[in-house]
């Protein structure tokens, strides 16, 4: 009798909204832990294989072209517009308050420390990271990954290594170009909106920037490039259930990459500028 009552209570409880919410939260936590574990394991496997350099220079150059050339127009557009908006908001007011000589320094520090690398990271994730995730996810659901394993080739080394090496090495170059472009567009916007001379602007830039800012920017961009490509490859590797799985894997790669670089940016800011 008690067993029947408990069974009915269990059925009623499973039909409640509270149970559905708890199940959803539990499923999300399990998915989070599983994805984090897969990223860590695949990252370790990749690093272990690097001592044998299981790829070719040609494969790395092909992937580098995607990061350094294909992504550059959208990256420069995003960083340039961000710099213009910041300069338009700041330059006029600072010139009115007699602080025009600090406009270039403010824009340059913001570009080098934060906006250049963050906006470049967002552009890379949106264009390249999603592309990598969808490529590998498609290979996974169409069993091309299994075919690679049948040929006694490690798919992690064959697919991940050239992409991650290219992303890690090319990200600093993209960030340098994007930050420089942002500083220049900031100068143009400041001159147009407030009449600030280019000499005053660039004198302020040289006065405000330090080698520490540049070194942290490069270190941060290396970390961003590595993390974005690793997450994109790992999420693509988890794909299943056909076309729907490819879409879910691509979405997960983009979301995780966004969250990861924001957390990394906080860590770098706390370590070097707090």
What is the per-residue pLDDT across 238-260, written as a single tens digit (0 to 9) for each? 888 777 888 888 888 898 899 88
Q: Which of 3-7, 30-34, 191-195, 226-230 has the lowest mean pLDDT?
A: 3-7
Q: How far apart are CA 189 and CA 181, in angstroms?
A: 12
Domain ranges of the chain: 56-272
Q: Is residue 210 classed as helix, strand or coil in its secondary structure?
A: coil
CA 128 to chain centre: 10
Task: Please enumerate in sequence order all residues whose Cβ is within 8 A of that of 253, keeping only pairs 6 or more positions apart, or say none.
Answer: 129, 130, 132, 133, 231, 232, 234, 235, 236
Segment 178-182 shows an average pLDDT of 90
pLDDT for the residue 17: 64
Q: What is the DSSP string of 195-239?
A: ---HHHHHHHHHHH--HHHHHHHHHHHHHHHHHHHHHHHHHHHT-
CA 42 to chain centre: 18
Model confidence at 141, in pLDDT bands (50, 70, 90)?
confident
- Whole-structure pTM value: 0.83
What are the phi and psi torsion angles at 151 (to 5°)?
Answer: -80, 10
Token code pair at residue 59: 């494969």
pLDDT in tens, 108-136: 888 888 888 888 888 889 888 888 889 88
pLDDT for the residue 19: 59
pLDDT of 12 over the 70 cut: no
């Amino acid at each position: 009798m008690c067993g029947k009552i408990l069974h009915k209570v269990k059925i009623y409880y499973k039909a409640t909204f509270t149970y559905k919410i708890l199940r959803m939260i539990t499923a999300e936590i399990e998915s989070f832990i599983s994805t984090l574990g897969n990223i860590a394991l695949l990252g370790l496997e990749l690093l272990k294989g690097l001592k044998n350099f299981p790829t070719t220079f040609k494969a790395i150059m092909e992937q580098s072209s995607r990061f350094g050339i294909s992504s550059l127009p959208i990256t420069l557009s995003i960083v340039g517009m961000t710099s213009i908006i910041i300069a338009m908001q700041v330059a006029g007011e600072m010139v009115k308050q007699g602080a025009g000589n600090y406009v270039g320094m403010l824009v340059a520090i913001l570009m080098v420390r934060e906006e250049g690398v963050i906006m470049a990271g967002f552009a890379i994730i949106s264009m390249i990271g999603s592309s990598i995730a969808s490529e590998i996810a498609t290979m996974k659901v169409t069993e091309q990954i299994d075919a690679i394993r049948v040929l006694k080739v490690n798919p992690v080394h064959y697919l991940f290594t050239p992409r991650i090496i290219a992303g890690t090495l090319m990200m600093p170059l993209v960030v340098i170009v994007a930050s420089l472009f942002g500083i220049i567009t900031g100068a143009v916007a400041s001159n147009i909106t407030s009449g600030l001379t280019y000499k005053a602007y660039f004198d302020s830039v040289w006065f405000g920037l330090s080698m520490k800012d540049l070194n942290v920017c490069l270190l941060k961009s290396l970390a961003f490039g590595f993390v974005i490509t690793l997450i994109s490859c790992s999420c693509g590797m988890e794909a299943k259930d056909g076309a729907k799985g490819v879409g879910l894997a691509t979405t997960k790669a983009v979301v995780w990459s966004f969250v990861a670089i924001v957390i990394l940016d906080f860590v770098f800011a706390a370590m070097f500028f707090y």
